Chain A
Amino acid sequence: MPVEQLKYSTTHEWVALDGDTATVGITDFAVHLLSDLVFAELPPSGKIITKGQPFGEVESVKAVSDLYAPLSGVIIEFNERLTEHRAADGTPVAAQLDLLTSSPFDAGWLVKVRIANPAEMDTLMNRQQYLAHCQSSE
């Protein structure tokens, strides 16, 4: 989904809504602030998340930061490529955290959520509002 059509939270998460499934990631602005990411901890499917509450963590060389849920709902999938995992044939695959830097709005997505309350979408910002928010927080 083009960045113009995404919705944004003040805590720098983006949301792409498709039916009742929201794909959530963090913005290029957030990735730039965090710098040198080394580890991501993402919630397993089935986990219930609540808007405004931490649902995971990203760790950089200098700091560990919480990821805040932009919407409430149930996790249906997390981006396995961002975590150490095993391929179908059982070989271990290292986490590809560079996806967050190279493709924060696409391949670097974090989780997919079945949303509980569509009205919460209205509390999020559009692209223009978000860019203004970033400017004011710089």
Chain B
Amino acid sequence: MELATGWFMNAERQEAGELARGLRRRDPALIDDLIQRYQYRLFRYLVMITGSRADAEDLFQETWIRVLEKGHQYDHRWKFETWLFSIARHLAIDFRRRRQPQSLDELVQPTGTNRPLELEDTATSSAFEQVFQGEESASVANALAHLPPSYREVLTLRFHEDLQLEEIARVVDTPLSTVKSRLYRGLTMLRECLKDFYL
């Protein structure tokens, strides 16, 4: 069992190393493959943090261009998706800042100068309804629109993307304790929002 785990981890590390080398070379075929592989996950994450299909589409393209340009900065000790989501998040914040420079103050946490930037909540129920499919879309859209983006974000990273808590902390550039408290609070809010759905 231990041997199998060791072999698996070794293979995973080797794959991450090859990925890092490919990104440094800016291999177009590798980027094509990565876009194919991570398209749904990245788009879902962008939709969750922006609450807008149009913004998510713009940022989807920009994120991959940034991956190509900054490929040499990828640290293969971390999962690729952790780095990918972190890039997407920074772009989303820049995007919001460029679009609404007057609301820059709202993006920065009021206390402490070193606190990371937060995403602004502009999502509405209808914005999510346009994005999600299936019978449950209206209830899910309504529930998600009621969640503040910082909670929506960590819930997505944890329960959609199955990232570890440390990986989430790295993506959102926030202490682990804050990530945990957001997850607990977000879970409670989600349960409350969806109460009508399963009653």
A and B co-occur in one complex: no
Partner-A contacts on B (CB < 8 A):
none
